[in-house]
Amino acid sequence: MNKKRVGILISGRGSNMRAIVEAASDPNYPVEVACVVSNRPDAGGLAYARSQNIAAQAIDHKNYKTREEFDSVVNDYLQSQSLDIIVCAGFMRIMTPVLIKPWEGRMINIHPSLLPLYRGLHTHERAIAAGDKEGGCTVHFVTAELDDGPIIAQARVPILKDDTAETLADRVLVEEHKLYPLALAKVALAKDI
Ligand code: GRF
């Protein structure tokens, strides 16, 4: 099988990255995780990636004066890995075109809301405050606009009467872990990637 080489960008615990790495252990999954990059050297996800013998690179954003400088270093590393697809999985950085442009149509993100609702942060608090009956998550292609770009897949969960942002986040996260590997496989199998 001609597997697509994927690089995953993280900032923290990396549970979505882990769900993808676990999916990729199936010989029939169309993706091989080639590398993981974190802008935070202490991200828990880096240790997990290393434990799975995946190249895991910390590129600390604090070492760069501008977003563009940081993005350029990340892009150079990704280019050096001969990747087909970039997966943002809890990568908590606003990216500039320096990083987005070279991967247009081949970079995806997961966002914890039913886009186009609630771009940006605190999505679960905002959904509860609005009295929404449903929350969820969205996998979409990354474009220059934050949490915008063509939607690939969504999953929905109910919002219950006593939900807090934490309980709702936990319920959505369970769906994220199922949705992201499926959406990534769909992108990897698309013929023009
Ligand atoms: C997820 O909820 C994701 O949707 C959001 O940040 C969280 C990352 O979690 N963008 P993890 O690092 O994948 O565990």
The CA 14 to ligand 1 mean position distance, Å, reads 7
pLDDT of residue 94: 96
Rounded to whole angstroms, how far apart are CA atoms 109 and 152? 10
- Dihedral angle computed from the Cα positions of residues 51, 107, 12 and 120, in that order, rounded to the nearest 10 degrees: -170
CA distances from 103 to 53, 91, 170 (A): 25, 16, 31
Rounded to whole angstroms, how far apart are CA atoms 98 and 16? 25
Is the model's pLDDT at 175 over the cut of 90? yes
Does ligand 1 come within 6 angstroms of the Cβ of 171? no
pLDDT of residue 193: 72
pLDDT of residue 192: 75
Rounded to whole angstroms, how far apart are CA atoms 146 and 65? 21
3-state secondary structure of 87: strand
Does ligand 1 come within 6 angstroms of the Cβ of 165? no
The CA 95 to ligand 1 mean position distance, Å, reads 16
Per the prediction, the chain carries an average pLDDT of 97
Note the pLDDT tens digit of each residue in 10-64. Answer: 999 999 999 999 999 999 999 999 999 999 999 999 999 999 999 999 999 999 9
- The CA-based angle 137-139-145, given to 5 degrees, is 105
pLDDT-above-90 percentage for the chain: 97
Mutate to test the pocket of ligand 1, among 33, 42, 110, 170 (most ligand atoms within 8 A of CB): 110
122: alpha, beta or left? (left if phi > 0; alpha if psi -120 to 50): left
Fold (CATH) for 4-188: Rossmann fold (3.40.50)
Is the model's pLDDT at 160 over the cut of 90? yes
HSE (side-chain half, CA atoms, 13 Å) at 79? 12
3-state secondary structure of 89: coil
pLDDT-based confidence at 144, cuts 50/70/90? very high
Residue range 94-121: mean pLDDT, rounded: 97
Radius of gyration of the chain from its Cα atoms, rounded to whole angstroms: 16
More confident residue, 147 or 193: 147
Mutate to test the pocket of ligand 1, among 176, 177, 179, 184 (most ligand atoms within 8 A of CB): 176
The CA 57 to ligand 1 mean position distance, Å, reads 19
Q: Which atom of ligand 1 is nearest the CA belonging to 16?
A: 13
Closest Cα to atom 8 of ligand 1: 90
pLDDT-based confidence at 187, cuts 50/70/90? very high
Q: Which of 118, 121, 42, 38 is nearest to 74 (CA)?
A: 38
pLDDT-based confidence at 1, cuts 50/70/90? confident
111 classed as catalytic: yes
Residue range 90-119: mean pLDDT, rounded: 97
Q: Which atom of ligand 1 is nearest the CA belonging to 109?
A: 10
Residue range 90-114: mean pLDDT, rounded: 97
Spot the catalytic one: 111, 124, 140, 177.
111
